Structure 1
Amino acid sequence: MKQSDIHTPIPPIFVINMEKSKDRREYIRAQFEAMGIQFHFFNAIDGKKLSSAELNTIDFIQAKALCGHQLSLGEVGCALSHIRIYEKCLAESIDEVIILEDDITVPEYFHTVLQAIAKRKNPHSELLYLFHGKAKTWPLYKKLPYNFKIKKVIPPSATSSRFITGTVGYYINKSGMQKLLSHAYPVRMPADYLTGFIQRSGINCYTIEPNLLALAGFDTTIDDRNYGDHLHLDHANTIS
């Protein structure tokens, strides 16, 4: 790492975690404390505990038409957790944030790579995936430490049902959060449909290649998910 990178600040890190998931919470805490990285837990919303009034704001009919399957309460809670972070950041004038889910293993060079991203900031990047299903990208790239690269994603056509999978970890700025929130309500899709339909939101999307994060292998807390173990797909997902 260059000397000039040592004091480069990185955005706040929010880790989405259900308070009852003690094993995940301690696993994340141990990793970040060992690396001296500051972060904040964001208490995940449990979709199974939403009130009748809150459930009435979810468009389950449109979800079925859009996604091709029923939207489960676990998926609703996950989607709302990401949405509420966007709302929190905009309300508190947090212009950039790193959002992580709690089923991750963080490499020892995580902070160094994030500092390099912050230092060499691309003004056009609104969302940068730190982990994702395979996406089509332009051949040009920006070099990062440890042989990582930042590449711009090629959006699918406007009428395409393809989307990028993965809300495991991403770096998003104010304009990116505003664009996603403009498509967030009524809640009618899982979290990674909202972030991954870049042709619909118009968000300028980039990726790190290879993935900076790894899945830790915990059993999913969304035990009522209706569309499979999507994060292990080798290609961008498609909605039928």
Structure 2
Amino acid sequence: MLDTIKETFPPVFVINRSKDTHRRSDMTDRLGEVGISPIFIEAVDGYALDILNLPDYDREKRRRYFAKDLGHGEIGCSLSHRKIYEKMIDENIASAVVFEDDVFVKNNLKEVLEDIKNTKLSWDLIRFVGHGKVFDIGYRPLVKLRNQYSIARVPTSPSGAYAYILTKKAAKTLVSYMQKNWVPVDIIHSRAWETKLDTFLVHPSPVTPDLISPSTIGDDRFNKRSKITGGTKLLHPFYRFWYKLSNGVGKRLLYMTTRRRDLEIAKKLSPK
């Protein structure tokens, strides 16, 4: 079974710090149960980085828009994902599945990946996120998959980069946006109106995050307390307003302007 998966599917990468042996063991077991043999990618340990002098981090821009720094864990997470994108480019990998090491997978994940591989839908990035309220506000199904799954577009920009599949084209685009990081990687994934990547979600998600085990990213990202002073603090409300406005307008315009095309795709690709 595993040999068939290797031949049929794109590589399945799991981001993991070598010292997190229990997470590596858990992911090996969870993916093995559904017939997938993962390739572990050594994560970038953000806590070992000097983020104040990190050339990959645009600290001033981050502080202008968010009034605080990215956390060590957030930067390490972004650089770990970028490491996979660079690997795809360097090794000419056409597409790949990416998991973080704290997720659970459904028993029919293999069938979902098979259906994505065989779909005639043009896509660059398909995200396995959206637990909770993402689908409570509606979604637009484009392609029906087996077991009540579908590839869909949603009128929002859900967070989370714990599971997805992407093409080499997407990898190149994401790397170009991640030379000077100022938002976490999942925010870049969600801003499809900016990246111009054909970005979709699978509904319902065949992968869910482990919300019980402590995250290696850390909880400081949830601290909303401002950590800026001077001119940066003075200008922050204007930058923040623009960020929220552009984000809101961008995702709604994308959803509206793709409606006709999506309906044509759904009609064309629906079972006869």
Provide TM-score, normalisation by structure 2.
Answer: 0.72
Closer, same or farther: CA 106–52 of 1 in aligned 2, 3 Å? closer
In structure 2, what is the equivalent of residue 233 of structure 1? none
In structure 2, what is the equivalent of residue 17 of structure 1? 16
How far is 1:11 from its partner?
1.1
Closer, same or farther: CA 51–218 of 1 in aligned 2, 3 Å? same
Question: Between Structure 1 and Structure 2, how many residues are aligned?
Answer: 219
How far is 1:184 from its partner?
1.1
Instruction: Give the unaligned 5+ runs of structure 2.
Output: 224-241, 245-272
Does residue 201 in structure 1 map to residue 195 in structure 2?
yes
Please tell me whether Structure 1 or Structure 2 has the larger radius of gyration of its CA atoms.
2
2-side partners of 1:225 and 1:67: how far apart?
A: 13
Secondary structure at the residue paired with 2:221?
coil
How far is 1:6 from its partner?
9.2
How far is 1:227 from its partner?
3.2
Does residue 94 in structure 1 map to residue 93 in structure 2?
yes
In structure 1, what is the equivalent of residue 118 of structure 2? 119
Instruction: Give the conservation status (yes or no) of the 8 Å contact 2:108–2:206.
Output: no
Moved more, 43-52 or 187-196: 43-52
2-side partners of 1:119 and 1:81: how far apart?
A: 29
How far is 1:51 from its partner?
5.3
Instruction: Give per-residue Cα distances to partners, 1:18-61, cap 9 Å, x unaligned.
Output: 12222211111111223331210111101121257962441111
Higher strand share: 1
- Counterpart of 1:130, as a letter, is F
Higher helix share: 2
Secondary structure at the residue paired with 1:82?
helix
1-side partners of 2:57 and 2:183: how far apart?
A: 9
Instruction: Give per-residue Cα distances to partners, 1:151-199, cap 9 Å, x unaligned.
Output: 1345x7xxxxxx4311010110011112212211112221111212222
Provide TM-score, normalisation by structure 1.
Answer: 0.81
2-side partners of 1:7 and 1:76: how far apart?
A: 31
- Counterpart of 1:23, as a letter, is H
Instruction: Give the conservation status (yes or no) of the 8 Å contact 1:69–1:226.
Output: no
How far is 1:68 from its partner?
4.5
In structure 2, what is the equivalent of residue 30 of structure 1? 29
Instruction: Give the unaligned 5+ runs of structure 1.
Output: 157-162, 229-237
In structure 2, what is the equivalent of residue 159 of structure 1? none
Closer, same or farther: CA 71–144 of 1 in aligned 2, 3 Å? same
How far is 1:108 from its partner?
1.3
